[in-house]
A and B are shown apart, each in its own frame.
Chain A
Amino acid sequence: MTDNQPKLRLRDVRKAFGPKVVLDGIDLDVGVGESLVVIGGSGSGKSVTIKCILGLLEADTGSIHVDGEEVVGIASRDRERINRKFGMLFQSAALFDSLAVWENVSFGLLAEKKVNRDQAKEIAASKLAQVGLSKEVGEFFPAELSGGMQKRVALARAIAADPEIIFFDEPTTGLDPIMADVINDLIVKITREVGATALSITHDMVSARKIADRIAMIYEGRIIWSGPTAEIDRSGNEHVDQFIHGRAEGPIKMAVRA
């Protein structure tokens, strides 16, 4: 293991659903402690990319390295070990609605039998505090919370097991601008505190500028540009320019049918 080995390395990752090619050779590196944001239009394969890394979908071909270890086609026992390094914030929050908030937050810890229920409840309270929620919220059920609060609970759940790599799938989508900014701040704060590597995907440029060290753009199943956040305004790439300025006119033609 060398110091400059990236935390995550994707090479020529391809994924198709039937005849429909979604990922057409993704190359991506995320360095240790880095926050990379992948931007791209709806349906461009951002979520599929993350799900391939997490093993929720199996990449057709290509290679995905986590800390230098190949995870495409990995045995399920090794997959469990790898996934313990991960925390994931789902686009729809994906809280378990039959469980109280605190049980949601400590679900992974309880599943791994690292802690008993009393300890789990304490840890849940401290994680909730980290995302600015009081201990009392822990007794609620997810359906009783607003969308913004659900996102925060999901964030607390994603960081509960102190992951090395955290994935954020459209963390601000569906939130009002102020709540979106709160979530962005939390993401920046928490990834710094935990020292975690972060891979986020979004089509919200405000969010991307705020949380990214580096930005990459996905288009037609490939990464067409990547560079430091400060350079995104002078990328010299027409696709990137059109996307960050949100123009209908340009080289990107919106697919009318998904």
Chain B
Amino acid sequence: MKILQHIGRIFLAFLATVGRLAPFMGSAAVHCVRPPFYPRTVLRHMVEIGYYSLPVVGLTAIFAGMVLALQSYTGFARFSAEGAIANVVVLSITRELGPVLAGLMVAGRIGASLAAEIGTMRVTEQIDALTTLSTNPMKYLVAPRIIAGLVMFPFLVLVADVIGVYGGYLVAVYKLGFNPANYLQRTYEFLQAEDVNSGLVKAAVFGVIVTLMGCYHGYHSKGGAQGVGKATTNAVVSAPILILSFDYILTEMFFAR
């Protein structure tokens, strides 16, 4: 009985969150397209999300590509299919690992900082102050950050794709002794535009998820420093879960036809 009660309570809390999140999303979307815009704020967050995430995304991608080449080599050697390594690497990276790993890594970085920044503004009445100074906080705080996420995540994933494939190439050529020209040719051969594009669409969705979760939890934080801490935790926990579930949904939409 206890467990059922517990599950029921979690389910109700989930519904309540969805009920509050929907109008927040709607309002954010409206403010993203309606002037006034804040280009300087958008730019600042594009640099914050795009440029400063490059090291962590690059490192994640290169190791992912390297491991992928190594794993598929040892696995495929069992049925003499080593030649397929290049395909496995490029398809896994562009379709799946690029967007998901970059999304998860940046979710921690950006989601936490957005939730902490906006949450602090909430509990120190700065968001109320915006309203009294003829400025809509959804437009001034939330919309620019979501736009920056929407634009910069695909850029990051494109970088991750290139670096990830390069990681696989390094291992294949220098450790496993593949012919470089041959490997690159097999990489291009099977790659289709849709593989890369689907990854970029995923990235854009993940960018919205991460920034939205950071802003939403920060915006609704209450009760001082502890409340801001809780908002930060909620943002970095909810974003990866949403990323992985939307990853499945989007993959199903793209490839399961």
Q: Which 7 A-B residue pairings sit nearest by Cβ, starting from the closest? A: A108-B133, A94-B125, A94-B129, A88-B132, A111-B135, A90-B125, A111-B134
Tell me the smallest distance from the CB of A125 to a CB of chain B, in Å: 18
Most buried by A among B121, B124, B128, B133: B133
Question: Contact: A90 with B129, CB < 8 Å?
Answer: yes
Query: Does B131 have its Cβ within 8 Å of any Cβ on chain A?
Result: yes
Point out the residue from A84, A92, A157 that lies within 8 Å of B134, measured CB to CB.
A84
Can you show 23 pairs from A to B with CB atoms below 8 A apart?
A80-B134, A83-B131, A83-B132, A83-B134, A84-B134, A86-B132, A88-B129, A90-B129, A91-B125, A92-B125, A94-B124, A94-B125, A94-B126, A95-B129, A96-B121, A97-B126, A107-B135, A108-B132, A108-B133, A108-B134, A111-B133, A111-B135, A112-B134
Tell me the smallest distance from the CB of A79 to a CB of chain B, in Å: 9
User: Hey, which chain B residues are within 8 Å of A88, CB to CB?
Assistant: 129, 132
Query: How far is B133's CA from A55's CA once the two chains are assembled, in angstroms?
Result: 12
Query: How far is B125's CA from A92's CA once the two chains are assembled, in angstroms?
Result: 7
Query: Does A56 have its Cβ within 8 Å of any Cβ on chain B?
Result: yes
User: Hey, which chain B residues are within 8 Å of A157, CB to CB?
Assistant: 133
Tell me the B residues contacting A by CB distance below 8 Å.
121, 124-126, 128-129, 131-135
Query: Does A54 have its Cβ within 8 Å of any Cβ on chain B?
Result: yes
Tell me the smallest distance from the CB of A256 to a CB of chain B, in Å: 19
Query: Does A51 have its Cβ within 8 Å of any Cβ on chain B?
Result: yes
User: Hey, which chain B residues are within 8 Å of A80, CB to CB?
Assistant: 134
The total of Cβ contacts below 8 Å across the A-B interface reads 45
Query: How far is B121's CA from A111's CA once the two chains are assembled, in angstroms?
Result: 18
Chain B proximity mask over A36-63: 1 for CB below 8 Å, otherwise 0: 0000000000000001001110000000
Known: A54-B131, A86-B132, A95-B126. 5 other contacts (CB 8 A): A54-B132, A83-B134, A96-B129, A97-B126, A111-B135
Question: Contact: A107 with B133, CB < 8 Å?
Answer: yes
User: Hey, which chain B residues are within 8 Å of A55, CB to CB?
Assistant: 131
User: Hey, which chain A residues are within 8 Å of B125, CB to CB?
Assistant: 90-92, 94
Instruction: Give A81's nearest chain B residue, CB to CB.
Output: B134
Chain B proximity mask over A89-105: 1 for CB below 8 Å, otherwise 0: 01110111100000000
Query: How far is B134's CA from A84's CA once the two chains are assembled, in angstroms?
Result: 7
User: Hey, which chain A residues are within 8 Å of B132, CB to CB?
Assistant: 54, 56, 83, 86-88, 108
Query: How far is B246's CA from A232's CA once the two chains are assembled, in angstroms?
Result: 64
User: Hey, which chain B residues are within 8 Å of A90, CB to CB?
Assistant: 125, 128-129
Point out the residue from B124, B126, B128, B134 that lies within 8 Å of A51, measured CB to CB.
B128
Query: How far is B135's CA from A108's CA once the two chains are assembled, in angstroms?
Result: 8
Tell me the smallest distance from the CB of B103 to a CB of chain A, in Å: 26
Tell me the smallest distance from the CB of A121 to a CB of chain B, in Å: 16
Instruction: Give B132's nearest chain A residue, CB to CB.
Output: A88
Instruction: Give B133's nearest chain A residue, CB to CB.
Output: A108
Query: How far is B134's CA from A90's CA once the two chains are assembled, in angstroms?
Result: 16
Contacts known (A107-B133, A107-B135); A96 close to B126, Cβ less than 8 A: yes
Most buried by B among A54, A84, A94: A94
Tell me the smallest distance from the CB of B130 to a CB of chain A, in Å: 8
Tell me the smallest distance from the CB of B176 to a CB of chain A, in Å: 50
Query: How far is B140's CA from A108's CA once the two chains are assembled, in angstroms?
Result: 13
Instruction: Give A157's nearest chain B residue, CB to CB.
Output: B133
Tell me the smallest distance from the CB of A116 to a CB of chain B, in Å: 15
Query: How far is B133's CA from A84's CA once the two chains are assembled, in angstroms?
Result: 8
Query: How far is B135's CA from A84's CA once the two chains are assembled, in angstroms?
Result: 11
Instruction: Give A88's nearest chain B residue, CB to CB.
Output: B132
Instruction: Give A83's nearest chain B residue, CB to CB.
Output: B132
